Structure 1
Amino acid sequence: MAIEIFLKNEHCEWLDVIAPTAEDLKFIHERYSINHLLLEDTIDANHLPKFEKVDDVLFFLMRENTELERKNLNSISDVSTKLGIFIFDKTIISIHRMNNKSVQETRLEVNKKAETITKEDIALILALKVMKSYDDEASHLMDSLEHLEDEIFLKNTSNTNQIRRLYRLKRRTGLNMRILNMSSDWIDKFKILDLEDSETVDLKDKYKDVIADFDHLNAQVTTLISMFLALSDQKANQVMKLLAIFSVYFLPITFIAGVYGMNFEIMPELHLQHGYYYVLGLMLLIEIVIFLYMRKKKW
């Protein structure tokens, strides 16, 4: 069975369940009388963050950012993993589908004060750890963004891989923002727990900081994508400008060469002794005039 008792004292009991099976959920339902629909929510990989209260059971469904690098970024499960927390009586139960960094860090922290810790304290620490995972993600994405900026503007390199990396940053930022925006509900519900106001304020402040970081990051990524596309257009325009300059120089002399290349039996200047040199001189004169004109116009 995947159920493990992490802590037990006179104030509370903390049970942790990892990758629960149907039998595990049935056991929890029968043992603690938790609504089976709430238990089913904990195994739905793409379930959104929420808070529910059924009878005397408080259910917090959080989503922690995951450090796993996924090829596809199509859903919130590609950037996060669920953490369900049930609070009732003197018991707190945490349920998650994979090894959870927040749970392990919280376990180490509460073991240092195992005799006095309460279920509300454990829930608050878990919530803060979940928010910290997004704080770490924001820092990681910002470092990646700054590295891309250096490549594009300082090293002056441009390739298709850069726009793909920018797109992935945009997708990761957007998915994390979606999760955070929907997490405001369960964040607000911490005020109903038996906690000090200052403790719940710390959680809300951390949440606001993370939201602000991702707002800034999203704006930075959007701006960088626009600048990257503008820079690509500028380089394309420079190429077109160079081709246009070549066209201006060669079009007149190509026209002259085309005229004198026509195969008519009777043509003016056809039998001139120095006609070849006259035509070359005319071509050179035209090129000089074009060059002086462009220089005067500062083209």
Structure 2
Amino acid sequence: MPINTIYKDSKCEWIDLEAPTPEDMTFLHDRYEINNLLLEDTLDPNHLPKFEEEGNVKFFLLRESTELERKNLNSISDISTKIGIFLLDKTIITVHRMKAKSVIDTKKQLSELKNDVTAEKIALMITLLIMKSFDDEAISLFETMDNIENEIFLKNTNHTNQIRRLYKLKRKSGLNSRVLTISSDAIDKFKLLGLEDSEVIDLKDKQKDVVADFDHLNTQITNLISMFLALSDQKANQVMKVLAIYSVYFLPITFIAGLYGMNFDNMPELRHKYGYYITVGVMAVIVICTFIYARRKQW
């Protein structure tokens, strides 16, 4: 997409670039004298959040939570997209590969403001919305976890499907937590921008709040997985218990059947008129006595 000037007044100019091409990067290098290494960082889909300063250029590389649902959760690019923020005197340049909700929402907020804003203020607004995207993701994951928990304990659901959903939830939460933890250093550097202390503190508090949410979420998911496995083991033990009880019922009568199945001429009741009925009756009595004994023992 072409380079777009989103906002311009007497105090600052905001330039946004979505899905940059090599020609766009060359223009930014020539026009604003931005180091090519910094520009290359904005092209790496898996680059971690960071802050760098070179000359009059301050560079923030942040990651925003994305609503795109990925089948594989192997890297941070599967749950987030990066946004590069360059600050040069009165100019702010944002570079991102795909549409960024934080950029769109910041543009709407600026249209509602009556006073002029600085480039640093715009960078702060974007970063706050980036942190909010993870806050929204945490709420969504908590709701998903609650649904899985209800299905596990209150409904008879497919356990194979549940363990897959729990694994996916744990992977997603872990990747988000990693992004937020690494973002701490870049968030701390906002104190270098000359913003009001209260604004920087609000940003840091928001980041800490989201980190705490994901730490709590990771703990809850781990506990839920442990309870799920314990419940699965309990159900397996119940099945084995039932099978064991049935084997106790049939063990003595199987022994009698095997005994009378031996080919000997002189066996008790072999020639007796009611020998068969007597043997079956004895087997039935043994089964009934075993059942009564098992009930009394509360097996």
TM over 0.5: yes
Give the corresponding residue for 1:274: 274
Aligned ranges for residues 127-166 of structure 1 at < 5 Å?
127-166=127-166
| Secondary structure class of the residue paired with 1:58 | strand
Equivalent-residue separation in structure 2 for 1:130 and 1:255 (angstroms): 73
Equivalent-residue separation in structure 1 for 2:114 and 2:275 (angstroms): 105
The aligned amino acid for 2:62 is M
Equivalent-residue separation in structure 2 for 1:209 and 1:296 (angstroms): 56
The aligned amino acid for 1:196 is E
Relative to structure 2, which stretch is displaced further, 135-144 or 271-280? Answer: 271-280
Equivalent-residue separation in structure 1 for 2:208 and 2:131 (angstroms): 10
Deviations 1:211-268 (A, max 9, x none): 1111111111111111111111111111111111110001110110111012223333
Equivalent-residue separation in structure 2 for 1:146 and 1:116 (angstroms): 44
Contact 1:7 1:114 in 2 (8 A): no
Equivalent-residue separation in structure 2 for 1:31 and 1:89 (angstroms): 14
Q: What TM-score, normalized by structure 1, do the two folds share? A: 0.97
Contact 1:9 1:114 in 2 (8 A): no
Give the corresponding residue for 1:184: 184
| Displacement after TM superposition at 1:9 (Å) | 0.9
Relative to structure 2, which stretch is displaced further, 261-270 or 235-244? Answer: 261-270
| Secondary structure class of the residue paired with 1:286 | helix
Contact 1:9 1:115 in 2 (8 A): no
| Displacement after TM superposition at 1:115 (Å) | 4.7
Equivalent-residue separation in structure 2 for 1:21 and 1:291 (angstroms): 79
The aligned amino acid for 2:293 is Y
| Secondary structure class of the residue paired with 1:10 | coil
Contact 1:62 1:183 in 2 (8 A): yes
Within the alignment, does 1:224 sit opposite 2:224 as a pair? yes
Equivalent-residue separation in structure 1 for 2:295 and 2:160 (angstroms): 36
- Structure 1 runs of 4+ off > 3 angstroms? none
Equivalent-residue separation in structure 1 for 2:298 and 2:98 (angstroms): 66
Relative to structure 2, which stretch is displaced further, 270-279 or 21-30? Answer: 270-279
Within the alignment, does 1:111 sit opposite 2:111 as a pair? yes
Equivalent-residue separation in structure 1 for 2:111 and 2:186 (angstroms): 25
Give the corresponding residue for 2:243: 243
Relative to structure 2, which stretch is displaced further, 279-288 or 42-51? Answer: 279-288
Give the corresponding residue for 1:85: 85
Equivalent-residue separation in structure 1 for 2:201 and 2:84 (angstroms): 22
| Displacement after TM superposition at 1:114 (Å) | 6.2
Aligned ranges for residues 1-299 of structure 1 at < 5 Å?
2-113=2-113, 115-299=115-299
Equivalent-residue separation in structure 2 for 1:115 and 1:12 (angstroms): 12
Q: What TM-score, normalized by structure 2, do the two folds share? A: 0.97
CA-atom RMSD in angstroms: 1.2
| Secondary structure class of the residue paired with 1:68 | coil
Equivalent-residue separation in structure 1 for 2:30 and 2:289 (angstroms): 96
- Structure 2 gaps of 5+ residues are none
Relative to structure 2, which stretch is displaced further, 288-297 or 9-18? Answer: 288-297
How many equivalent residue pairs? 299
The aligned amino acid for 2:14 is W
Equivalent-residue separation in structure 1 for 2:297 and 2:198 (angstroms): 69
| Displacement after TM superposition at 1:277 (Å) | 2.1
Relative to structure 2, which stretch is displaced further, 156-165 or 212-221? Answer: 156-165
Equivalent-residue separation in structure 1 for 2:20 and 2:158 (angstroms): 47
Q: From the superposition, tell whether residues 175 and 5 of structure 1 become closer, same or farther in structure 2 (CA, over 3 Å).
A: same
Deviations 1:151-205 (A, max 9, x none): 1112232331111111110010000001001000100000011100000000011
Equivalent-residue separation in structure 2 for 1:263 and 1:73 (angstroms): 67
Equivalent-residue separation in structure 2 for 1:158 and 1:70 (angstroms): 22
| Displacement after TM superposition at 1:285 (Å) | 2.3
Equivalent-residue separation in structure 2 for 1:113 and 1:278 (angstroms): 99
Equivalent-residue separation in structure 2 for 1:219 and 1:62 (angstroms): 25
Relative to structure 2, which stretch is displaced further, 226-235 or 25-34? Answer: 226-235
The aligned amino acid for 2:50 is K
